[in-house]
Amino acid sequence: MTYCLGIFSKEGIVGLADTRITSGSDTTVSKKIFTVQREKHSYFIMTSGLRSVRDKAITYFSEVIDDQDKNFNKLYKAVNKFGEQVKRVADEDGAHLKDSGMSFNLQAIVGGQLEEDEYPKLYLLYPQGNWIEIGEGTPFVIIGNSGFGTPILKRSLTYDSSLEFGLKSGFLSFDATRISANDVDYPIDTVVLKKDEFRMIEHRFQEKDLGHIADFWNSKLKDAINKLPANTLNNALSFKKLEGITDDT
């Protein structure tokens, strides 16, 4: 499993991905963010799914970039071409995977801004090669292990959130996933693209870099629970009946 998060903000976009690769009982570290950087032409691809099909699709797409990237003036055109490579890999490997009891499960988050894009764009690409654009209504998308990290993003993030706020919320989402699933872990890679700057900022963080933030959050969360205005809820600790509640209810 994996954890990749894309955040869509009025200020730009943020990508965050763990690096843990699990194969049976073995774990390794590998980058899950592929980037393309040219003048006024920047985008990234984050992938989840079987490592073999992920690597194959990216390798095929790298060849496409060598020949055609200069023709992509809007991000959706690059997404379409990557989708073609995903379908190509599915045609080549899908039946063999099914025979082995596995499924073709490659998903991708593609984000960036190209020459003629009005603002940075964010897309979710499905294993079938089709895609949707992430918009203001739900300004984030997770692929891989999404269940544990989604709630905090739904409670905190909006399209108007700053990139800094998005990074903080994104890290807490990753941390919630990390402590709940043994197949997601440090190091984590981040990529930030500010609107109209066309220059991605990439960083890798180890647990020693960010562990103090998780400790701070855990402490504040426990303190907030202790301070909850829960007088009514505390009736569950006594024999006092709430108004309107009967023995048959």
Rounded distance, CA 76 to CA 125, Å? 11
Q: Under a CB-based contact definition with an 8 Å cutoff, are residues 174 and 184 in contact?
A: yes
Question: What digits encode the pLDDT tens for the residues 20-66?
Answer: 987 666 778 999 999 999 999 999 999 999 999 999 999 999 999 99
Please state whether beta strands 121-125 and 107-113 pair in parallel, antiparallel, or not at all (unpaired): antiparallel
Question: What digits encode the pLDDT tens for the residues 131-179?
Answer: 999 999 999 999 999 999 999 999 999 999 999 999 999 999 999 999 9
Rounded distance, CA 228 to CA 173, Å? 22
Give the homologous superfamily in CATH for domain 3-237. Aminohydrolase, N-terminal nucleophile (Ntn) domain (3.60.20.10)
Token pair 């292990």 in the structure block, residue: 145
Extents of the domains making up the chain: 3-237
Rounded distance, CA 35 to CA 77, Å? 16
